[in-house]
Structure 1
Amino acid sequence: MFTGAKYLLRGLGWVARHPRQWLFGLIPAVIVLAVYAVVLGLLAFNLDTVAAWVTPFADGWSEGLRTATRVVAGLAVFGASAFVAVLTFTALTLLVGDPFYESIAVRVEDSQGGAPPEPDEPLLTQIARAVKDAALLGVIAVAFALVFFVCGFIPVIGQTVVPVLAACVSGYFLAGELASVALERRGVHRRERLGLMKRQRPLVVGFGVATFVVFLIPLGAVLAMPGAVAGATLLARERLAINPLLTEGGRDAPEYR
């Protein structure tokens, strides 16, 4: 897991040495952040109303107990929403900024010895697959958010264990989305990608959780996004892409790294 976290540091170090690529990669992240900030801001502004809406059973309770329940409910709703936002932020930013991050990934690979050739596939097919993957990730994120929302009501566990589990789950999928830029170029799509991630789960979780924590810092998701893409590219190139699944047409997998 610590090795996985080091890949994020390496990615951040790479963009620090290539400031133009960092500025280039900020553009799509800023656009998506603006949209998410408005949505989460509206939620925070109306959190009392939302908390009351999800806890109608507390209407007849004493004022103290009702207030405490709705405070917990409000925190759980906002926490679940933040979880969904962090998880889908990456997928949506990669979707919006595909040309930007593809360029960064290629430059990272060139700095390490060369990138594999671009897949011989129509652009519309690539876009359709990216939209489908983003939509599927959104469904998964909502499902997990609902589970964590319910578990958030459990005393003590809901405020300690659940946030840690949420970070691990979010980090795992974050790492997969970030590594998809490099793996898609190697012809490794969602199902195969999940298989590769499963074989290297501690490594992937380490990278993903470190990224998740950085993304929770105000503006961290925007400022660190180019570095996260660079780190995930290095992770995919050096660890995830070394797998028999990449053998194709009799050609040896290392040629595709």
Structure 2
Amino acid sequence: MRQALALSLVALLLGGCASDPADRDISGTWINQSAIDAASKGGPLREALQAYGPNLEWDVNTRAGQARYTNGFENVEGKLLGEESGAWKVDFYGSSASELKRDGKQLSQAANDNEPEQVFDRASVPVPEGAPIGASFERALYSAYMGGSWKILSGPGEGNTVQFQPDGQVAGLPGADRYALCLAGDCASMSGGNDNIWLQVNGQGNTWIFARKDKELEIFQTVNTALADEMPSFTPGDRKWLLEKQ
């Protein structure tokens, strides 16, 4: 009886030790789920990304000693240094290093002089093999923020049901078969704080400004107020569509 109990305790201890490395392993793709959750409440997209970002996705390979992240504009690669007390440092070749630490099912990025503390969750939405970094975040965001069925209340195709797919396809919106949300970078700078969306059909498209409030989505034509030799500066023009989430 005592021998069986002792063996059980040994097995339990060994099992716990064996699980520790897995609990600390930070390899894989991690996305900024907090930003997605904030956006999915139905408010402005840029506000959610700025509040919980700026980084959107980490891709870590501990075996190869590599770590990279994207903020929606830049893709940054670094060298993953050894683990110390559960924390991993990422060296970005001369710039300030980042520190990553796993806390259960989440990955935390410590605050530094340039960025606040940020939290990431393991990506669960599948992406095609070879997809660029950021694809996991993008698909999860598109599903949460644009997913479901929308009805056109006014504008071309009034009465149509519109569906925005996680892979960037859109059906039911006249004159568009693909879309892309602006996450950061030049497209954000050119829109003066407004959210914008790229709509295209047969490979040709344009930038539109949109406003999301709860279940309503307004899409406006863009008016470029910049001079010909300046970077475009878009402001909302006439409203083209008003959609309501069903």
TM superposition score normalised by structure 2: 0.26
Higher relative contact order (CA 8 A, sep 6+): 1
Q: Which has the larger radius of gyration?
A: 2
Higher helix share: 1
TM superposition score normalised by structure 1: 0.26
